[in-house]
Amino acid sequence: MNIIIVGGGKVGISIAERLSYEDHNITLIDTDTDVLTEAQETLDVLTIEGNGAAIDTLRRADAGKGDVLIAMTDADEKNLLCCLSAKKLGCRHTMARVRDPQYSRHIQFLRDDLGLAMAVNPEHMAANEIYRIIQLPSFLKRDSFDKGRVELVEMKIAEGSPLDGKKLYEASGILGLRVLICAVERDDTVTIPNGSFTLRAGDRITVTAARIDLAVLVKSLGLMRQKIRGVLIIGCGRIAEYLTDELLRSGVSVKVIEKDRARAEEFQLRFPRALVINGNASQRGFLESEGVDNFDAVITLTGVDEENLIISMYCSHMGIKKTVTKIDRNEYLRLFSDRDVGSVVCPKELTANEIIRYIRAISNSGEDSIRALHRLVDGKAEALEFLVTDATPHIDIPLSRLRFKQNVLIACITRSNQVIIPNGNDTLHPGDTVIVVTTADRTVGDLRDIFERDAVRN
C-alpha cells in the first residue's frame, strides 16, 4: 500500500518503521530536515520536506493516489486539516492523532465531514491501559479481546511458584482451571511453546484465560490480591488527567506530585478531590516525606523516561507492591527488562498497534481480516483477533490435523459467548472468534496467513 505519514516525531517514526518492515511504500513528510535525514538513513522511506497540511506538499507526495494518510504532528488542528486536504485530493483512508480532550469528545460527530477513518489519542489510550493494569495488580500487562471475554495477561514466574520446573501440559492441573501459556520470554528470547516446554523461575509468561477465571488464576499462583485503594501519580501531563478522572470516579484516592507550580495549581483546581503537591519526586528523601509507603501503587508519568524508570525502581526497592512506568523510547524496554520497574506503558506503541491493526485489516479486506492487535513481551510477539467466516479455510477440521506456520498458535476460540482454550480435538466454525499468537517477525493479516500451504495432514 502507498502510505503517507505526516510528522516525524516519536509516534510517526515508530509507525513508519513498522509499516516499512511490512513492505508498504512509505512517504514521510516533515518540516525538520534533520528528522528526514535520520529517517532516510535508518528506514526504507521516501521523505518530503514541507508542511503536510499544504495542498502543494500533499500533491508532491502524490496524496491523491495514496491508500492511507496518517497525520501525527504535535498539533491536532494541523492533523485534522491534513486529513481533510488529503481526502479532498482523493486519498482513500485518513487517520489523525487528536490529543485535546475537547476535540476528542466531538471527533465522532465530525468524522464523516472530515473523512476520517480513525482518530487516535495516545494519552487517553495510555490512561486506559494503566487503569486496566492496576485493577489486577498481580499482572505486568493485560490485553483484552472479544469484547472483554478473553484476557491475555503477562506475569513473571517467581522463585517457589507452583509453575517453576513444570511442563506446560501440567499447567492446567496445577492451576485448577483451563489456561494456555502462549508465549514465554527467557534471556531476551521469546518462544511460542508446545506442551513439553519446561517453565523456570524468572520466565515472563503470557497466559490466555477467560476473564471470569482471572481471580482463580491469581489465587492459584498465590499472587497479590489486594485491591488498589490509594495511588500516587508522579507528573501532571494529559495521561495523568485522564487517569485521575477515571480513578476518582471508581473510588480510588489519588495524590499527585508535580514539579511545575503553575501546572500543579491548575491540576488541583480541575481535580479538587485529588491531593496535588508541588515538588520534585526525584529529590532525595522527598517521596519518603510524602508517605510513599502508604500507597498501593505508584505511577510515574513525567516527560522524562529516565526519571520515570529511576523513580519506579526506587519505589519497588521501598516495597511498593505495584509500580507502573510510562516510557516513550522502546530501547529502554530492553535495557531495563531485568530491572524491577513493574508494568511498563508506552503511548506510542499503543498508537502504532491500533494503526497497524487498521492497515492490516484494509490490506486484507475479507470478512476474516484482523479485528484487534496487541503486542506482547515488549513487542517481541503479537496477539491478533479474527472472526471465522464461511470463507475461512479448514473449518470443521480438528486442529491436530492442521499444519500451522512456525511460531503460530491458536490461543483461544470463543463460540456463542463460551471461551474455549483449545486442544487438538477442537475445530473452527463460522462465527467463532479466534485469538492467534505469533512472534512479531511474522506478519499476519487474516486467518489464511497462519496455515502452511499443505495445511491438512492425512
To 10 degrees, the CA torsion angle through 138, 142, 148, 152? -100
Q: What percent of the chain is predicted at pLDDT more than 70?
A: 94
Report the range of poorest mean pLDDT among 41-45, 328-332, 379-383.
Answer: 328-332
Confidence of residue 334 (pLDDT cuts 50, 70, 90): low
Q: Is the pLDDT of residue 442 over 70?
A: yes
Nearest to 94 by CA among 104, 106, 81, 105: 81
Asked if 216 and 236 sit in the same domain, the reply is no
Identity of residue 106? H
The number of helices, as runs of H, and strands, as runs of E, in the chain is 14, 24
Q: Could you read off the pLDDT of 210-238 as tens digits, one per residue?
A: 888 888 888 888 775 678 999 999 999 99
Asked if 186 and 267 sit in the same domain, the reply is no
What's the whole-number mean pLDDT along residues 329-357?
A: 79
**What's the CATH code of the domain at 246?**
3.40.50.720
Residue 359 lies in a domain: no
Q: Is the pLDDT of residue 12 over 70?
A: yes
Asked if 208 and 274 sit in the same domain, the reply is no
**Is beta strand 204-210 parallel, antiparallel or unpaired with respect to 150-156?**
antiparallel
What's the whole-number mean pLDDT along residues 275-303?
A: 93
What is the secondary structure of 416-432 as a DSSP string?
Answer: TTEEE---TT----TT-
Confidence of residue 327 (pLDDT cuts 50, 70, 90): very high
Residue 335 lies in a domain: no
Rounded to 5°, angle at Cα 133 from 130 and 134: 90
CA 288, 291, 293, 297 dihedral sign is negative
The last residue of one of the domains, among 166, 195, 220, is 220
What is the secondary structure of 386-404 as a DSSP string?
Answer: EE--TTSTTTTS-GGGEEE
As a 3-state breakdown, the chain gives helix, strand, coil percent values, each rounded to 5, of 35, 30, 35
Q: Could you read off the pLDDT of 70-97 as tens digits, one per residue?
A: 999 999 999 999 999 999 999 999 999 9
Asked if 98 and 156 sit in the same domain, the reply is no
What is the secondary structure of 247-287 as a DSSP string?
Answer: HHHTT-EEEEEES-HHHHHHHHHH-TTSEEEES-TTSTTHH
Q: What percent of the chain is predicted at pLDDT more than 90?
A: 60
Asked if 111 and 156 sit in the same domain, the reply is no
Asked if 6 and 116 sit in the same domain, the reply is yes
The last residue of one of the domains, among 297, 320, 343, is 320
Work out the end-to-end distance of the chain between its first and last CA atoms, rounded to an integer number of angstroms.
38
Q: Which domain holds residue 285?
A: 229-320
The domain tally of the chain equals 4
Phi, psi dihedral angles at 63 (to 5 degrees): -65, -30
Q: Is the pLDDT of residue 337 over 60?
A: no
Residue 14 lies in a domain: yes
Asked if 199 and 257 sit in the same domain, the reply is no
**What's the CATH code of the domain at 370?**
3.30.70.1450
Asked if 212 and 138 sit in the same domain, the reply is yes
Asked if 12 and 95 sit in the same domain, the reply is yes
323 beta partners? 298
What's the whole-number mean pLDDT along residues 237-262?
A: 96
Q: How far apart are CA 52 and CA 250, in angstroms?
A: 41
What's the whole-number mean pLDDT along residues 398-410?
A: 93
Question: Between these two residues, 18 and 252, which has the higher pLDDT value?
Answer: 252
What's the whole-number mean pLDDT along residues 130-149?
A: 88
Q: What integer best gives the mean pLDDT of the chain?
A: 89
Residue 354 lies in a domain: no
Considering only CA atoms, give the Rg of the chain: 23
SS3 213: helix
Asked if 216 and 234 sit in the same domain, the reply is no
pLDDT, residue 345, reads 92
pLDDT, residue 195, reads 86
What's the whole-number mean pLDDT along residues 127-145?
A: 90
Q: How far apart are CA 331 and CA 422, in angstroms?
A: 35
Q: How far apart are CA 318 and CA 292, in angstroms?
A: 8
Distance of CA 214 to the CA centre of its chain: 20
95 beta partners? 70, 118
pLDDT, residue 10, reads 87
What's the whole-number mean pLDDT along residues 336-364?
A: 82
pLDDT, residue 214, reads 84
Residue 352 lies in a domain: no
Choose the most confident range, by mean pLDDT, from 41-50, 204-213, 347-356, 437-446: 41-50
The CA distances from residue 287 to 172, 239, 293, 319, 345, in Å, are 42, 21, 9, 13, 22
Confidence of residue 265 (pLDDT cuts 50, 70, 90): very high
Asked if 421 and 385 sit in the same domain, the reply is yes
Asked if 197 and 298 sit in the same domain, the reply is no
Q: How far apart are CA 282 and CA 184, in angstroms?
A: 34
Q: Collect all residues with Cβ–Cβ distance below 8 Å to 453 and sequence separation of at least 6.
A: none
Residue 299 lies in a domain: yes
What's the whole-number mean pLDDT along residues 25-42?
A: 94
CB atoms within 10 A of CB 237: 18
What's the whole-number mean pLDDT along residues 263-287?
A: 94
Confidence of residue 373 (pLDDT cuts 50, 70, 90): confident
Residue 19 lies in a domain: yes
The CA distances from residue 437 to 42, 121, 303, 373, in Å, are 29, 26, 32, 10
- Residue 40: all three cell numbers together: 532516510
Q: Could you read off the pLDDT of 96-105 as tens digits, one per residue?
A: 998 887 776 6
Residue 350 lies in a domain: no
Nearest to 282 by CA among 303, 308, 262, 260: 308
pLDDT, residue 368, reads 57
* C-beta separation of 183 from 191 below 8 A: yes
The last residue of one of the domains, among 199, 220, 241, is 220
Identity of residue 80? L
* C-beta separation of 149 from 214 below 8 A: no
